[in-house]
Structure 1
């Protein structure tokens, strides 16, 4: 059959190739075409997809005037990013150095170019439009003959009471205040390092350490630190917490390992002061201050603890015995002094006798007296 009929829908465009060379572009409608030698080939495109993604798009666009009437072309520099708008709605982001071919009849199309040569920060308006369009999670880009997905923007969030450090391609750029920030990451590696500027507590728990006299101790240490210079800390260590933890751990081992158990128990502040002295300067060198440090627990092995309890019990018993003997001696000396006073003072002697009588009468229900008061006193004294 020499004459062919081709029906083109409203959303379609058909490229007619003759001997693999673009010959014509069919617009919507019914077309009758002569093909005597069966040399024609028809390629149908849906313009609703917007993208003219023919593998030879660049060559076809350059060599065919009729095709250029249906296709719009944009070329981005290596330092430019494109914001693609269709009917005033953002539809996607185009990567640097890309060629973009779009069907003109797909809508009112415009490409807004943004330079990322010196400033890669995304302004709030552009970020809002990109996020609303969902273009930051699955952006359609044309790369040669294929469509790919890429995340064009790095969303960085600095939480409250933190300081953020922005690094681009490994170089420190600036400090970021708490809040949401966004940066183009085409041609760049964007990284955020965040530091908590509040006082932080570190727990160095369960440290098994031998004292100088080879007693195994389990010690729990607590310390509070604060980051003063975030830039210095970021350039000095990978992790402030890890560095501080290991520094405290080594200082604790050094402090305990050079003292005997008795010395440690006698001077409870020795470990705290020694650890602080060893650590404070090392932390200061990385922009961190050590605010406080203290031993929470010193746990002895079971056998050592039992022996120590026996020693303490014996010491307390000896101390109690000394106190008891001291009090007995003091009481005897007091009685001796009282006796010497009464020996030369009959009146005082009589008062002591009356006092004794009073104590005896408290325990007697009835008392028969013979010989008067003198007989009573003599009888009481004689009985006593």
Structure 2
């Protein structure tokens, strides 16, 4: 058949090629086209997709006036990004150095260009609009290759009571206050280091350490620290908590390894004070304050614990024996003094006898005395 019928719907545009060259653009309608020599080819595009995605788009746009009437073209510099709006709605983010070809009839189109040469920070209003439109995704990033899988914007969140340090291409750029921040990632490597400014508690747990007398101990240590200079800490160490943990660990080993078990148990503050003395200045040099150090537990091996229990038991038994002997000596000395007093005092002797008789009488149900007081004194009694 030499005559071809082509129906173009309202949302379509059809490019007619004759011998591989663009001849015209068909608008919506019904067309009857003669193709006697079979020289015509048709390329149908849906303008709702917005983008003119023909592989030879740049050449066709530049060389054909009919097509350029239907296509809008934008070119971004290598230091620019674009926000693409269609009918005042944000449709996506255009990457640097991109050519953008869009169907004019798809809607009211505008492109807002933003420079990322010197300042990659995004103002709060723009950042809000991008997040509300869900445009900060690799799928919404407009690039001709369609192969980029990176988010256009780095979302950086600095928590409450924290300090954030922004690094761009490995260089410290600025300090960030608590809150949500956005930065363009095109042509840059963006990194955030965050530091907690509050007092932090570290637990150094389960350290197996040999004392000077080769007794194996397990010691649990607690320490409280505070970051005073975040920038100095970031320059000095990679991970603050890991560095502090290992520093305290080594100081604890040094403190315990130079003392015997008896010395450690006798001086309970020795470990705390020694560890703090060894660590305090070293942490201060990297912007960290060591506020306190304390030993929570000292755990001995099972056999050593049994031996110590025996030692303590023997010590307490010896102490009890000394106290017992001291009391017996005191009682004997008291009896001796009493006897010396009564030796030259018959009245006192008689009173002591009556006292002894009274104690005996308390244990007797009935007592019969013969001869009155003289009989009582002379022991003439009948006990029942």
Superposed pair shares fold, TM > 0.5: yes
Call closer, same or farther: CA 1:157–1:27 in 2, change over 3 Å. Answer: same
Contact 1:136 1:153 in 2 (8 A): yes
2:115 is matched with 115
Following TM superposition, by how much is the alpha carbon of 1:134 offset from its aligned partner in structure 2, in angstroms?
1.3
2:325 paired with 1:322: no
Return the alpha-carbon distance in structure 1 between the equivalents of residues 65 and 248 of structure 2. 76
Call closer, same or farther: CA 1:180–1:250 in 2, change over 3 Å. Answer: same
Call closer, same or farther: CA 1:160–1:343 in 2, change over 3 Å. Answer: same
Return the alpha-carbon distance in structure 2 between the equivalents of residues 315 and 146 of structure 1. 83
Contact 2:141 2:152 in 1 (8 A): no
Stretch moving more, 336-345 or 49-58: 336-345
Return the alpha-carbon distance in structure 1 between the equivalents of residues 144 and 12 of structure 2. 22
1:375 is matched with 375
Return the alpha-carbon distance in structure 2 between the equivalents of residues 194 and 299 of structure 1. 36
Call closer, same or farther: CA 1:38–1:141 in 2, change over 3 Å. Answer: farther
Return the alpha-carbon distance in structure 1 between the equivalents of residues 332 and 141 of structure 2. 107
2:18 is matched with 18
1:359 is matched with 359
2:284 is matched with 284
Q: How does 1:268-283 map to 2 (within 5 A)?
A: 268-283=268-283
Return the alpha-carbon distance in structure 1 between the equivalents of residues 120 and 252 of structure 2. 47
Q: How does 1:83-122 map to 2 (within 5 A)?
A: 83-122=83-122
Call closer, same or farther: CA 1:191–1:378 in 2, change over 3 Å. Answer: farther
Q: Secondary structure at 1:286's aligned position in 2?
A: coil
What is the CA deviation profile of residues 302-322 of structure 1, one whole-angstrom value per residue up to 9, with x for unaligned ones? 222222222221121111111
Following TM superposition, by how much is the alpha carbon of 1:28 offset from its aligned partner in structure 2, in angstroms?
1.0
1:158 is matched with 158
Q: Secondary structure at 1:368's aligned position in 2?
A: strand
Contact 2:166 2:175 in 1 (8 A): yes
Call closer, same or farther: CA 1:40–1:145 in 2, change over 3 Å. Answer: farther
1:9 is matched with 9
Call closer, same or farther: CA 1:338–1:138 in 2, change over 3 Å. Answer: same
Contact 1:60 1:67 in 2 (8 A): yes
Q: Secondary structure at 1:244's aligned position in 2?
A: helix
Return the alpha-carbon distance in structure 1 between the equivalents of residues 378 and 122 of structure 2. 115
What is the CA deviation profile of residues 340-383 of structure 1, one whole-angstrom value per residue up to 9, with x for unaligned ones? 22223334333333332332222222211223334324439xx9
Contact 2:152 2:186 in 1 (8 A): yes
Call closer, same or farther: CA 1:369–1:146 in 2, change over 3 Å. Answer: closer
Q: Secondary structure at 1:208's aligned position in 2?
A: strand
Q: How does 1:225-240 map to 2 (within 5 A)?
A: 225-240=225-240
Return the alpha-carbon distance in structure 2 between the equivalents of residues 137 and 111 of structure 1. 18
Following TM superposition, by how much is the alpha carbon of 1:147 offset from its aligned partner in structure 2, in angstroms?
6.7
What is the CA deviation profile of residues 96-125 of structure 1, one whole-angstrom value per residue up to 9, with x for unaligned ones? 111111000000111111222222222222
Following TM superposition, by how much is the alpha carbon of 1:88 offset from its aligned partner in structure 2, in angstroms?
0.7
TM, length-normalised to structure 2: 0.93
Q: How does 1:157-196 map to 2 (within 5 A)?
A: 157-196=157-196
Contact 1:139 1:152 in 2 (8 A): no
Q: How does 1:194-343 map to 2 (within 5 A)?
A: 194-343=194-343
Return the alpha-carbon distance in structure 2 between the equivalents of residues 375 and 158 of structure 1. 106
What is the CA deviation profile of residues 287-335 of structure 1, one whole-angstrom value per residue up to 9, with x for unaligned ones? 1111111222222222222222222211211111111111111111111
TM, length-normalised to structure 1: 0.93
Contact 2:93 2:142 in 1 (8 A): no
What is the CA deviation profile of residues 47-85 of structure 1, one whole-angstrom value per residue up to 9, with x for unaligned ones? 000001111111211111111110001111222211111
Unaligned runs of 5+ in 2: none
Return the alpha-carbon distance in structure 2 between the equivalents of residues 147 and 215 of structure 1. 63
Q: Give the superposed CA RMSD.
A: 2.0
1:129 is matched with 129
1:344 is matched with 344
